Amino acid sequence: NFLLTQPHSVSESPGKTLTIPCTRSSGNIDSSFVQWYQQRPGGSPTTVIYEYHQRPSGVPDRFSGSIDSSSNSASLTISGLRTEDEADYYCQSSYGSHWVFGGGTKVTVL
Amino acid sequence: QVQLVQSGAEMKKPGSSVKVSCKASGDTFKGYTVSWVRQAPGQGLEWMGRVIAVLGMPEYAEMFQGRVTITADESTETAYMELRSLTSDDTAMYFCARGSTSGWLVDYWGQGTLVTVSS
């Protein structure tokens, strides 16, 4: 088993670019796909990135995903920040078919 | 328009059980997995387990093994999550989510069901 560590919170101004890291504690980050979920206050999660960098239909290309083997981490990047991007973001990976979530990052758009 | 419609909020006593339903509207669970994820108040997401709808094969997170049962009824396009021996620590919002069997896309989530455990 392993842990996924995210910063508790990040903030940035509208129109800027923001990156959220998700670091895997053991095992290689590229050994199992990483997904990212957005959860607005009071809402259900929605998928913004799956399989490291794929975007579901309807998700704007302002959202992008990547991995960095040197830091054993995945990242979610949101460019052209909008106030509607204020939400909690969770990374998720797996061992076998079992999901592991990161602790979540609160994004504030100042 | 696909929706996963979950059953309503529940109030339970410690030691009792709860069964939450998740019905697919506008589409099907056939060929998909249904996962259950919970979120305690002010906390993060926690995976409980999943079922491959057509095969009816459940898998559970270790911390819920022996206390949770996840099923899917093809005929009614409804998935269920039953959690037994409830304690106050089980007070949470419970979400169902539909996922691909051939990849890692979760395309739809239910609206959530609040389960409150209190004496």
Q: What is the mean pLDDT of residues A81-108?
A: 97
Contact A102 B44 (CB under 8 A): yes
Q: Which of the two residues, B34 and B103, has the higher pLDDT score?
A: B34
Answer whether residue A82 shows pLDDT above 90. yes
| A77 SS3 class | strand
Query: Closest to B45 (Cβ–Cβ): which among A45, A96, A98?
Result: A45
Residue B103: what pLDDT?
Answer: 85
Quickly list DSSP for B82-99: EE-S--GGG-EEEEEEEE
**Per-window interface: A 70-99 vs B, CB < 8 A:** 90, 92, 94, 96-99
Answer whether residue A28 shows pLDDT above 90. yes
Q: Radius of gyration (Cα) for chain B, nearest Å?
A: 14
Portion of chain B with pLDDT greater than 90, in percent: 82
Q: Of A51, A49, A40, A53, nearest to A84 (Cα)?
A: A40
Compute the distance between CA of residue B42 and CA of residue B39 in angstroms, rounded to an integer.
8
Which residues on chain A are in Cβ contact (under 8 Å) with B35? 99
Confidence category of residue B37, pLDDT binned at 50, 70, 90: very high
pLDDT tens readout for residues B56-97: 789 999 999 999 999 999 889 999 999 999 999 999 999 999
The encoded tokens of residue A84 equal 């509607």
Q: What is the mean pLDDT of residues A42-71?
A: 97
